[in-house]
Chain A
Amino acid sequence: MTSRLHERRRWLGLAGTGCLLLLAGCKGDSPPSARVLPETPQDDPPIHVTGCENTSIDPGRVTLHRLNRAEYDATVRDLLGDTTHPARAFPVDDHGYGFDNNADVLSLSPLLMEKYASAAEALIESAWTRGTLSTCALDAARPEPCARDILSRFARRAWRRPVTPEEVDRLLRPLALAKQHGDPPEVGVKLALRSVLVSPHFLFRVETDPEPGSKTPHKVSAFELASRLSYFLWSSMPDEALLQAAEQNKLRTPKELEAQVRRMLADPKAQALVSNFAGQWLFTRALDSAEPDPTLYGAFNDTLRRAMRQETELVFQEFLTSDHKLKDLVDAPFTFVNDALAAHYGLPLPGSTTPQRVDLSEHPERRGIFGHGSLLTVTSNSDRTSPVQRGVWVLEQLLCSAPPPPPPNVEGLPPPVNPSMTMKERMALHRSLPQCQGCHRMMDPLGLALENYDPIGRWRLKEVSGAPVDATGDLPDGNVLNGGADMRRFVKADPKLPECMTEHLLTYALGRGTSEADECAVRLIAATAEARGGRLSDYILAIVLSDHFTSRRGDTEAQSP
Chain B
Amino acid sequence: MSRKPSLSRRTVLRGAGALLALPWLEQMLPGAARAAAPSLSPKRLAVFYVPNGIHMPKWTPTGTGPAWELTPTLQPLASVKSDVLVISGLANDAGRPDGDGHHAAGTAALLSCTKAFKTEGTDLRAGISMDQVIANHLARQKATRFASLELGIDAGRGIGNCDSGYACPYANNIAWAGPHTPMAKEVVPQAVFDRLFGGTHAGETQAQAARRRAYGMSIIDSVREDATVLQRRLGTTDQRKLDEYFTSVRDLEKQVDAMGTPTSACGTPTAPGGDEDPRAKTKAMMDLIVLAFQCDLTRVVTFMLANARSNKVYGFLGLSGGHHAYSHHQHVSSNFDALARIDRWEVEQYAYLVRRLKEVKDAQGVPLLDNALVYFTSEIEDGNGHIHKNLPVLLAGKGGGAIATDRHLRAPGIPIANLYISLMRAMGVPNVNTFGADGTQELAGLGG
Contact = CB atoms under 8 A, between A and B. Distances in A.
Given A1-B165, A111-B183, A409-B385, A198 B237 contact: no
Contact of A285 (B99, B159, B225, B312): B159
A114 B330 CA distance: 46
B238 interface: yes
Contact of B222 (A195, A288, A289): A195
Contacts of A18: none
Interface majority SS (helix, strand, loop, mixed), chain B: mixed
Nearest to B172: A94
Nearest to A66: B241
A125 interface: no
Interface stretch (B56-64, B65-73, B317-325, B400-408): B317-325
Contacts of A414: 330, 332
17 contacts: A1-B161, A3-B118, A63-B241, A89-B191, A91-B184, A104-B124, A104-B167, A105-B167, A108-B245, A109-B183, A111-B184, A183-B211, A187-B215, A204-B241, A283-B159, A408-B102, A415-B335
B158 A64 contact: no
Given A98-B160, A177-B214, A285-B157, A113 B236 contact: no
B325 A381 contact: yes
A382 B319 CA distance: 10
A216 interface: no
Interface stretch (B22-30, B36-44, B227-235, B258-266): B227-235
A2 B322 contact: no
In the A-B complex, the 4 residue pairs with the smallest Cβ-Cβ separation, listed nearest first, are A96-B121, A113-B248, A212-B235, A91-B184
B130 interface: no
B183 A177 contact: no
Contacts of A191: 215, 218-219
B120 to A, nearest CB: 5
A293 interface: yes
B21 interface: no
B182 A409 contact: no
Contacts of B181: 107, 109
B242 interface: yes
B235 A383 contact: no
Interface of B: 99-102, 118-124, 147, 150, 155-162, 164-165, 167-169, 172-173, 177, 180-188, 190-191, 194-195, 198-199, 211, 214-215, 218-219, 222-223, 225-227, 230, 233-238, 240-242, 244-245, 247-249, 251-252, 255, 312-313, 315, 320-322, 324-325, 328, 330, 332, 334-335, 384-386
Interface in A510-561: 512-513, 554-555, 557-560
Interface stretch (A134-142, A167-175, A247-255, A303-311): A167-175
Nearest to B125: A560
B238 A64 contact: yes
A174 B180 CA distance: 34
A431 interface: no
Contacts of B162: 95
A536 B122 CA distance: 28
A66 B242 CA distance: 10
A42 interface: no
Given A286-B157, A382-B313, A408 B100 contact: yes
Contact of B158 (A95, A204, A407): A95
Contacts of B168: 94-96, 105
B182 A209 contact: no
Residue among B100, B156, B226 having the largest count of chain A Cβ atoms under 10 Å: B226
A111 B245 CA distance: 11
Contacts of B100: 404-408
B238 A98 contact: no
A495 interface: no
A559 B248 contact: no
Contacts of A293: 313, 315, 320-321
A415 B330 contact: yes
Contacts of A485: none
Contacts of A208: 233-234
A250 B178 CA distance: 43
A324 interface: no
Contacts of A2: 120, 161, 165
Interface in A380-424: 381-383, 396-397, 404-409, 411-415, 417
Given A118-B199, A415-B335, A295 B320 contact: yes
Contact of B182 (A94, A98, A103): A94
Given A98-B161, A110-B247, A209 B235 contact: yes
A92 B187 contact: yes
A275 to B, nearest CB: 11
Contacts of B211: 181, 183
Given A98-B159, A177-B215, A513 B184 contact: no
A4 interface: yes
Contacts of A397: 160
Contacts of A555: 235-237
B235 A554 contact: yes
Given A110-B252, A559-B236, 12 more contacts: A96-B169, A111-B150, A118-B199, A171-B222, A177-B214, A191-B215, A203-B245, A212-B235, A381-B321, A554-B235, A555-B236, A555-B237
A550 B248 CA distance: 31
Contacts of A286: 157-160
A108 B177 CA distance: 11
Contacts of B188: 89
Nearest to A176: B218
Contacts of B234: 64, 208, 212
